[in-house]
Amino acid sequence: MNRNIRPYDGASPVIHDSCYVDPAAVVIGDVTLEAGASVWPCAVIRGDVNSIRIGEGSNIQDFAMLHVTHKRDSDPAGAPLIIGKHVTIGHHVTLHGCVIGDEVLVGIGTIVLDRVVIEDRVLIGAGSLVPPGKRLESGYLYLGNPVKQVRPLTESELAYFKYSAEHYLRVADKHKPNLDA
């Protein structure tokens, strides 16, 4: 049994064959990693009390913590975690029960809390705090504690989303042969 990828309460992670999950990362329970997703050292993705979905080509960098809010009578859906395609989740980011669209970059050390919705093509600066229930509009840079909309994104920033995700695909491909060494 792979000790870093494990079931919980009858739910096992579903990981596409093209994904890279570092042996020092932990993936537990109701977690789906779509094609080309990557999970880097010391990241924790814990889908034990609700589901986590990570979209195609998205990367979860070192020491990221991903979790969810449990289902209960007063909140039957709880707060699952859904990450879109080509998303970069920076080092030491905490995501908890939120929804992230496609082509988003969440900067180093950012915290995103329950029921936040981040639309497509958003850049969140390092060290930001996105409080529960907030919606971040597509096409903007957000920064701060609590996060505030700073300015529209430039063309080069918009182009960087796809570049960042594709870069991590290339890096992951170079790491994969080392898993068998």
Q: Give the model confidence (pLDDT) of 61-110 as tens digits.
A: 999 999 999 989 998 888 999 999 999 999 999 999 999 999 999 999 99
Summarize the confidence of residues 158-174 as an average pLDDT.
91
Q: How far apart are CA 139 and CA 137, in angstroms?
A: 7
Q: How far apart are CA 33 and CA 170, in angstroms?
A: 17
**Looking up tokens 């329970």, which residue turns up?**
29
Among 54, 47, 117, which residue's Cα sits nearest to residue 84?
Answer: 54
Topology of the domain comprising 5-176: UDP N-Acetylglucosamine Acyltransferase; domain 1 (2.160.10)
Domain ranges of the chain: 5-176
What's the pTM value of the predicted model, to 2 decimals? 0.95
Summarize the confidence of residues 141-150 as an average pLDDT.
98
What pLDDT, on the 0 to 100 scale, is given for residue 78?
87
Distances (CA, A) of 143 to 64, 140, 159: 19, 10, 19
What pLDDT, on the 0 to 100 scale, is given for residue 103?
97
Instruction: Give the pLDDT band of residue 177 (cuts 50, 70, 90).
Output: confident
Query: What is the rounded average pLDDT for all residues in the chain?
Result: 95
Burial of 42 (0-12, 13-18, 19+ CB in 10 A): middle
Burial of 65 (0-12, 13-18, 19+ CB in 10 A): middle
| Sequence letter at residue 138 | S
What pLDDT, on the 0 to 100 scale, is given for residue 1?
55
pLDDT at 114 over 60: yes
